[in-house]
Chains A and B, each alone.
Chain A
Amino acid sequence: MLAFLIRRLVQSVVVLLVVGAVSFGMFRFIGDPVNNMLGQERTQADIEQLRDRLGLDRPVFVQYALFLRNAVQGDFGVSYRQGRPVADIIAERAPATLELAAVSGVMALVFGIGLGVLTAINRNSWASSAIMTLSLVGVSLPTFLIGILLIYVFSVQLEWLPSFGRGETVDVGGWSTGFLTQSGLIALILPAITLGLYQMTLIMRIVRSEMLEVLRQDYIRFARARGLRERSINFRHALKNTLVPVITVTGLQMGSIIAFSIITETVFQWPGMGLLFINAVQFVDIPVMAAYLMLISVLFVSINLVVDLLYFAIDPRLRIERAKA
């Protein structure tokens, strides 16, 4: 177990270093921030001076090494766009993204598993067919379009829900939360649906097919023969055995919910890290892009680690095999 953990940690560091190197290699293709930072009246001398001060003339690996050296000390530099420390900006933006991701994630899990089980048990009912057909929409429509559609229906036509922003937020120990105000909760609804819909349908379809697989197994038949109640067969015996693939997918999807909230945040002007990243790309705000990409890769790496550890908890076979080895 310990050896496994250490090995995974070393691998994680290597992954992070590679992601950083690739990002820095790519920044030069995004463009040059200098023009965005200087006004129309700038002279050639101003441009060269700024490039020099930002260190943009240095080779990419030198820029990367400097970034790493400062990052290790907790200094992620200053945003070219906002002129404030990147660490502060990200800390300020993280709550918006994390709250949105948490709500979407919980929604995707609860409805995904629930509907997956229901459609598996009542596989021939018309309701199941309807849900399955609708789920195709969730899987195939791009997030951007879903967001705009929801805005059109619920904001413009019905005027029930806000089309942008987080509503009012309350500051709790440096964490700005939208959970404590009515407008904050209402503002969460559309973005959360937009962001979580794909994951929800994905989880639902996986749970359903796994359930169908499991329900055919002998031990389920024996359980029925023993006269166990349907509810206990479905949820205690069958569902539990479908969870390994569900956890893998859910884990990775949680990462994508945070990482790919970029589109949802842009559509709903949700002031989170995704919006920050889009702004950074447009402005070529290298410190923000670098910090964000590193943060996202840390997130993915840790989620993978947690998922691996969860396997141990859920699947006894893994524990036994490891012990033998």
Chain B
Amino acid sequence: MKRSLFLSTALAVLSIGAAAEAETLRWALAGDALTLDPHAQNEGVTIMLQSQMMEPLVSRAPTGELEPTLATEWAVKADDPTVWVFKLREGVTFHDGATFDSEDVVFSMNRARSEESQMKGIIASVAEVRATGPYEVEIVTNGPNPILPAALTSIMMLDKGWTEANNAVTVQNVAAGEVTFSSTNVNGTGPYTLVSREADARTVMRAYDGYWGKDSFPLAFDEVIFTPIQNASTRVAALLSGELDFIQDVPVQDIERVKATAGLKVESSPENRSVFFGLNVSDTLVAGNIDGKNPLADLKVRQAINMTINRDAIRDVVMRGQSVPAGIIMPPFVNGWTEELNAYPAPDTEAAKALLAEAGYPNGFPITVDCPNDRYINDEAICQAAVGMLGQIGIQARLNATSKALFFPQVNAMETDFYMLGWGVPSYDSEYIFNFLYHTRDESYGSWNSTRYSNADLDAKIKAIAAEIDLTKRDAMIAEMWQAAKNDLAYIPVHHQMLNWAMKDTLTVTVDPDNQARVKYFALN
């Protein structure tokens, strides 16, 4: 108690000292963090807010490369491919003044791997974490894992002493009805400290004076006020009226308006998220077979569908230019992406009709397109456009658009024949897409593969690349796998979404492909 009183006095004194040129960033987006416990929710906004105050060993710079954070260097151990060695940064302190060392890493990693943690899926390959010195840790994996560092970018480090002293060792567990100290308090190593937080209303953070990276990052703001504003019109209005400096999600119809306003600008970049349709390729349609068969099981039908979707029209009309048409369900800048793979066929109604006739459906067939209406940018409108395009070749598509809370359980239960899905790749590696979307669905793989697509050869290769430490060989395998996946067309790619961040034109900001704004990278002109 005394300590915190002292600290707050010290902070107050500091803030008066800095008041002369204090810069405040007023920042808004639609959602708010769900908790401050870094291992309790694997959700974008939650991780983003936490990452202003807490840090992982390795993070991803806005440009997409891995960047040393609390670890300065890392490498696979020379004599054992299942062990990664991380050298830790020295001289790092937590907000309460405690020193960061290997003990905290072992503790935090084990907490993130614990039963209650929602992060355990990301680092499922980790078998053991051990300290081999005050500033060195070894992470042992189940079999070689060439891309382990990329998996650590959202695993935040906590102070062992602080967490234990506040009875927060167990991760907050909503299902068990637990509320822990760490879900509302923060003691991280990050550039900002928590000043106050009211969920869904306002979170105030102040620059941490003892931050290790003071000289490495622009750190232009002394104070950050984060406000969720759900209503898109209000959010844009608040930016236009000068009440906000930065909003992260501008509706596509408002982009021109913001750009036309003096003193404001919009920065855009493709998001790490592809939007596509999944097709039920099994022998039986959920909605009942047509003449005893599932037309979608026929590759020719899928090729016809692929040919009738006019991606350029969707970009120009539905997305108002804010999308990159896709020929593959992998966002650009993911390892494995190439221009050739992303090529998509020009829309050709006649050829598509011919393919359908060849497959035995000259008059098309009825199908329901299931679609979320509150998950991706203009999701329902994209589906509506697709329904019209399918109609052009005689497929009688019916749109079923529902909220994500109804839609995702339906997809997960495989109660759909034709559905929309968006997919981001946090590891920036193809393996992640293959694991979840292409591998035959079983207990540990293919949990998002609701197409029933199953390719034994591909499955074997998916398991093989996971342990292949020769990266050249691995990349060659990945290229081969994508070619097969692309030809089989279990998924019909639509596009890669664009991110649009709007801000005062005095800010210099690089749009992060994962939509993870980190204020420490923001600069002022």
Contact = CB atoms under 8 A, between A and B. Distances in A.
Nearest to B31: A279
Nearest to A271: B201
A267 B231 contact: yes
A35 to B, nearest CB: 4
A36 B405 contact: yes
Contact of A33 (B200, B234, B240, B405): B405
A45 B409 CA distance: 14
A50 B436 CA distance: 20
A260 interface: no
Interface string A24-37: 00000111111111
A45 B443 contact: yes
Contacts of B393: none
B229 interface: yes
A276 interface: yes
Contacts of A156: 237, 240-241
A41 B235 CA distance: 31
B177 A78 contact: yes
A191 to B, nearest CB: 11
B151 to A, nearest CB: 10
B199 interface: yes
Nearest to A85: B179
B374 A282 contact: yes
Nearest to B405: A31
Interface in A46-92: 46-47, 50, 53-54, 77-85, 89, 92
A40 B34 contact: no
Contacts of B310: none
Interface stretch (A134-142, A159-167, A306-314): A159-167
A32 B405 contact: yes
Interface in B13-59: 34-35, 37, 40-43
Contacts of A77: 177
B362 interface: no
B227 interface: yes
Given A40-B42, A151-B234, A269-B230, A50 B403 contact: no
Contacts of A43: 121, 443-444, 447
Given A159-B242, A165-B202, A283-B405, A50 B35 contact: no
Given A156-B241, A266-B230, A39 B118 contact: yes
B75 interface: no
A68 B261 CA distance: 54
Nearest to A160: B241
A31 B374 CA distance: 13
Given A82-B35, A83-B40, A282-B374, A164 B447 contact: no
A89 B199 CA distance: 9
B412 A50 contact: no
B42 A38 contact: yes
Nearest to A47: B412
A283 to B, nearest CB: 7
A129 B16 CA distance: 57
28 contacts: A31-B404, A31-B406, A32-B406, A32-B408, A34-B409, A35-B409, A36-B404, A39-B43, A39-B119, A40-B436, A43-B121, A43-B444, A44-B447, A82-B35, A83-B174, A89-B199, A92-B198, A148-B233, A156-B240, A159-B242, A165-B202, A267-B233, A267-B234, A269-B228, A271-B200, A282-B374, A283-B405, A284-B405
Interface string B77-119: 0000000000000000000000000000000000000000011
Given A83-B35, A164-B227, A271-B198, A37 B174 contact: yes
B254 to A, nearest CB: 12
Contact of A31 (B40, B175, B403): B403
A164 B121 contact: no
Contacts of A38: 42, 118
Nearest to B441: A44
Interface in A248-266: 266
A148 B237 CA distance: 9
Contacts of B381: none
Q: Using C-beta atoms within 8 Å of the partner chain, give the interface range for chain B.
A: 35 or more
Contacts of A85: 179
B172 interface: yes
Which of A29, A82, A163 is most buried by chain B, counting CB atoms within 10 A of its CB?
A: A163
A267 B232 CA distance: 9
A81 B444 contact: no
Given A38-B118, A282-B405, A44 B227 contact: no
A229 interface: no
Given A39-B41, A39-B42, A151-B234, A165 B174 contact: no
A198 interface: no
Contact of A269 (B41, B227, B448): B227
B233 A30 contact: no
B243 interface: yes
B1 interface: no
A235 interface: no
B112 to A, nearest CB: 12
A275 B200 contact: yes
A268 interface: yes
A90 to B, nearest CB: 12
Contacts of A155: 237-238, 241, 243
A152 interface: yes
Interface string A117-154: 00000000000000000000000000000001001100
A46 B237 contact: no
Interface string B218-258: 00000000011111011101101111000000000000000
B122 interface: yes
A278 B179 CA distance: 22
A317 interface: no
B326 to A, nearest CB: 19
Nearest to A34: B409
Task: Give 8 closest A-B pairs by Cβ, nearest first.
Answer: A31-B405, A39-B42, A41-B121, A271-B201, A32-B409, A53-B175, A78-B177, A35-B408
Contacts of B424: 40
A123 B379 CA distance: 53
